[in-house]
Amino acid sequence: MDHEALNEVWRAELLARLKLLDETISEQARRVALFREKGWDATVLEKRSKLLAESRQHYVALLNRLLFDGELPILWND
């Protein structure tokens, strides 16, 4: 597979992962809101929300690097 084709695969993979991550972040926000509404401790859920947001930032940075530099600093091995 040539470099350009591989970049297209990586781009599609990153976009799919970002879409799924956005859905997960939205679901998590609803859980946090529900816990707060009921007066329950949402600390663990809030920590998970923060980790999900950080993960999203990393995926966006990778996508930007791919789009603007034409390469990724990693290879997908999975």
Which sequence spans correspond to the domains of the chain? 39-67
Task: Specify the pLDDT at position 37.
Answer: 97
Q: Is 14 exposed, middle or buried (0-12, 13-18, 19+ CB in 10 A)?
A: buried
Looking at per-residue pLDDT, the higher value among 10 and 26 belongs to: 26
Query: pLDDT band at residue 6, thresholds of 50, 70 and 90?
Result: confident
Place of tokens 């007066």: 39
The reported pTM is 0.79
* Residue of 13, 32, 20, 27 whose CA lies nearest to 56: 20
Q: State how far the Cα of 13 lies from the Cα of 5, in Å rounded to an integer.
A: 12
Dump pLDDT digits (tens) for 23-67: 999 999 999 999 999 999 999 999 999 999 999 999 999 888 888
